[in-house]
Amino acid sequence: MKRWRWMFCAIALLVAVTGVTEKHLSEDVRAISKVSTTHKVVALTIDDGPHSRVTPEILAVLKEKKVRATFFVLGENVEHFPKILAQEVADGHEIGIHTYSHPSLKGLSPQKISEEFDKAEDVILPIAPKPTLFRPPGGLYNSQVLEAAHQRGYAVILWSIDPRDWSCPPKEKVVDEVFKEIKPGSIILLHDGQYPLPTPKALGTIIDGLRERGYDFVTVSELLQYNEVRHSFNFFSSLF
């Protein structure tokens, strides 16, 4: 009896310290915006490409800095620029799915949601490994969208830092916003689906500045392995 009481107290303490509720700990179908970790690791994510001009500029910066990112690509853009997706894969970047045509999925029927996945996969899979990550356009989703992604084997990935580079602010504003909000386990949202964008010029400064602050860059899939809250919960669960 004492053993069970100790287990209950330990889990209660874990939840209290981390601020994670039992509901969140037990959910398999959920959206992830950051990872709870004390390690200074962050993930760069790039949405909406590939783009004929912006994406190659971003790839050149990432290659120079020896950083791998996670690209959430649109199927219709892959159709136009398949060689750029192939270059992302060749450079070792992670590929996630961002639907085919960037609709607001919350307003679609289950059939239309499924069609967005199908059409995107049809053009991505001949070029890239089967993605395991999905980002809903605009970060908008409901339980229907989460379930559709889960059934296809996707983890739903959002973000914790959004410098709104898509609105074309000055490069310095993008950089400052990232530096202001950065924390261990952050997922940084950037874009490459339009021209012009400040993103290619801001990216090198972001990478250099975060490295000076002691941060390392990983892909989203790698970042998920640093989730200390989930790992701690699994440890306590194994004791029962």
Locate the DSSP E strands across 110-186. Answer: 133-134, 155-157
**Counting Cβ atoms within 10 Å, is residue 123 exposed (0-12), middle (13-18) or buried (19+)?**
buried
Structure token digits, residue 133? 């990550």
Contact 70, 94 (CB under 8 A): yes
Q: Percent helix, strand, coil in the chain (nearest 5)?
A: 50, 15, 35
Contact of 79 with 124, CB cutoff 8 Å = no
Which of these is catalytic: 48, 165, 191, 192?
Answer: 191
Whether 39 sits among the annotated catalytic residues: the reply is no
Residues in contact with 39: Cβ distance below 8 Å, sequence separation at least 6, in sequence order: 184, 185, 226
Angstrom distance (rounded) from CA 74 to CA 48: 6
Which candidate in 39, 47, 122, 176 is catalytic?
A: 47
Structure tokens given for 236: 């306590």
Q: Does residue 191 carry a catalytic annotation?
A: yes
Q: Measure the CA–CA gap between 232 and 83, rounded to whole angstroms.
A: 42
Question: Distance between CA atoms of 119 and 142, rounded to whole angstroms?
Answer: 21
Please name the residue that has the structure tokens 């912006």.
Answer: 54
Please state, in angstroms and rounded to a whole number, the distance separating the CA atoms of residues 50 and 15. 41
Cite the active site residues.
Answer: 47, 191
